[in-house]
Amino acid sequence: MSKAICQIVDSSGNLPRSFINQQNISEVPFYFKFNNPDYCRENIDYNITDFYKHMEEYPHQVPKTACPNIYDWLTIFEQQYARGAKQYIVTTISSKLSSSFQTAISAKKLFEEENSDIQIEVIDSNICACGQASLEIGIAKMIESGKSFEDIVETANKMVLNTTTLFAVDSLKYMKSGGRIGGAAAFLGKLTNVKPICEFVDGVVHPVKAVRGRKNSLKTMIDIAVSRISDINKMIVIIQNAEYQEDADYIINYLREISNFAGQIYKSDLGITVGAHSGPGAIGIGFVENPLI
């Protein structure tokens, strides 16, 4: 990987921890809290397993989240600058879901005023979770391949337009609490075991299909994903789940079965930032075309 180009992400994408370490990616954490007065930092102060366990044990304590502040971004910029980085590629959750993008932009302006020898590109992923992660994996692969800063930025901005996140939730409660769906839809889901399949379109949650039963919703989500992909061998694919590893393994096996895909499928936990609004049992698939194919 080029030492001159560094990759910085916010924690909404929740890339696999091993991938972050391998690619030397810097992650700027979101904050969250339950009923306690102080916020914790995602992936630093609190274990994801404990987070979802808390949600299940205390269902009335709906977590609150807060985006990284300007100081958080500046700290990472300064650390990378001290290591010799001159070019920064930053990705954030959709600006329609959080102000993370705006705080990163504000930090960029301040840092550029103090350092005239740097370039910082802040990219609004227009999505979150596994779709954001697939985009960030693609950027990391381009950096690793030695592509120029300008080429990576141009390609990444094109990738944003074609990145997909599909997801299913086990309960509609958390989406209702977070204002993602109406109360009537949540009540209907509770009565009829409806498991909605949703996606992010232009940075906003949209329902795709309402399905009865958990297994049926998982299969339908993958069926929809495969129907939208012309050549899965050209895709970066990642599965994220909120502590339901058996379901993640199930959809990976089903995906391989119906698509004959033998390539790498990345896996990671659904991060706290997004999981706070989708709840335990949420699971999704993100994909985007591999920029190196």
pLDDT tens per residue across span 22-66: 999 999 999 999 998 999 999 999 989 999 999 999 988 989 999
The rounded distance, in Å, linking the Cα atoms of 71 and 228 is: 40
pLDDT at 277: 87
pLDDT at 172 over 70: no
| 8 Å CB contact between 137 and 19 | yes
What count of residues does the chain have? 293
Do 115 and 170 fall within a single domain? Answer: no
The first and second tokens of residue 171, run together, are 């309960």
Do 280 and 191 fall within a single domain? Answer: yes
pLDDT tens per residue across span 74-96: 999 999 999 999 999 999 999 99
Within 10 angstroms of residue 233's Cβ, the number of other Cβ atoms is: 12
| 8 Å CB contact between 60 and 43 | no
CATH number at residue 101: 3.40.50.10170
| 8 Å CB contact between 277 and 178 | yes
pLDDT at 2: 46
Do 190 and 285 fall within a single domain? Answer: yes
Do 37 and 129 fall within a single domain? Answer: yes
Do 205 and 153 fall within a single domain? Answer: no
pLDDT at 178 over 60: no
pLDDT at 184: 39
In 93-172, DSSP assigns E strands to: 119-124, 164-168
Do 171 and 284 fall within a single domain? Answer: yes
CATH number at residue 186: 3.30.1180.10
User: DSSP states of 14-44 as a string?
Assistant: ---HHHHHHHT-EEEPPEEESSSSS-EEBTT
187 confidence band (pLDDT: 50, 70, 90): very low
Mean pLDDT of 187-207: 72
Strands 194-201, 204-212: pairing is: antiparallel
Do 108 and 122 fall within a single domain? Answer: yes
Query: Using CB atoms within 10 A of its CB, is residue 270 exposed (0-12), middle (13-18) or buried (19+)?
Result: buried
pLDDT tens per residue across span 113-152: 999 999 999 999 999 999 999 999 999 999 999 999 999 9
The dihedral over CA atoms of 153, 155, 157, 159, expressed in degrees to the nearest 10, equals -140
Do 174 and 218 fall within a single domain? Answer: yes
Q: For the chain, how many structural domains are there in total? A: 2
Do 43 and 153 fall within a single domain? Answer: yes
Do 193 and 271 fall within a single domain? Answer: yes
107 confidence band (pLDDT: 50, 70, 90): very high
The rounded distance, in Å, linking the Cα atoms of 143 and 149 is: 8
Supply the mean pLDDT for the chain.
91
In the listed set 133, 160, 187, which residue is the last one of a domain according to the structure?
Answer: 160
Do 153 and 175 fall within a single domain? Answer: no
Task: Note down the domain range covering 183.
Answer: 164-289
| 8 Å CB contact between 47 and 242 | no
Do 70 and 153 fall within a single domain? Answer: yes
In the listed set 106, 125, 160, which residue is the last one of a domain according to the structure?
Answer: 160
pLDDT at 201: 83
In the listed set 107, 141, 160, which residue is the last one of a domain according to the structure?
Answer: 160
Q: How far apart are the first and last CA of the chain?
A: 18
pLDDT at 195: 82
More confident residue, 172 or 257: 257
Strands 235-241, 31-33: pairing is: unpaired
The rounded distance, in Å, linking the Cα atoms of 220 and 211 is: 8
Mean pLDDT of 61-72: 95
